[in-house]
Amino acid sequence: AQSVAQPEDQVNVAEGNPLTVKCTYSVSGNPYLFWYVQYPNRGLQFLLKYITGDNLVKGSYGFEAEFNKSQTSFHLKKPSALVSDSALYFCAVVLYNQGGKLIFGQGTELSVKP
């Protein structure tokens, strides 16, 4: 079955420290992978995507993600966290044989403390 997993419900980091939010996937074929962020009482906002090419993808707000095919992972990273990065983060994989439907992970709550 095709799926995506975010093994951590919550990640806590201090402001200024690097952050990592983990994501692993299971799909047949080459994956299309996305990261979205959700702030309270708002819809999901696109951060970045991996389609093909360079394994390190850069996105909005200083975020980047590393695609690792052998580990079937697509972890979200940022070198220096900000308090304003505190939000709910979703990893998603595209089912491109089903009209491009997205399957989302369960989400990871990121908390950045001053």
Partner 1 sequence: DAGVIQSPRHEVTEMGQEVTLRCKPISGHDYLFWYRQTMMRGLELLIYFNNNVPIDDSGMPEDRFSAKMPNASFSTLKIQPSEPRDSAVYFCASRRGGGNQPQHFGDGTRLSIL
Residue 22 near partner 1 by CB under 8 A: no
Q: Which tokens hold the place of 10?
A: 């919550």
For 25-64, letters b (16+ CB in 10 Å) and e give bebeeebbbbbbbeeeeeebeebbbbeeeeeebebeeebb
Q: Which tokens hold the place of 33?
A: 């992978």
Question: Do 83 and 112 meet the contact criterion of CB atoms below 8 Å apart?
Answer: yes
Binding mask 72-111 for partner 1 (x = CB under 8 A): ------------------x---xxx-xxxxx-x-xx----
Among 9, 41, 53, 114, binds partner 1 (CB under 8 A): 41
Residue 58 near partner 1 by CB under 8 A: no
Among 17, 45, 55, 111, binds partner 1 (CB under 8 A): 45
Among 46, 79, 84, 111, binds partner 1 (CB under 8 A): 46
Residue 28 near partner 1 by CB under 8 A: no
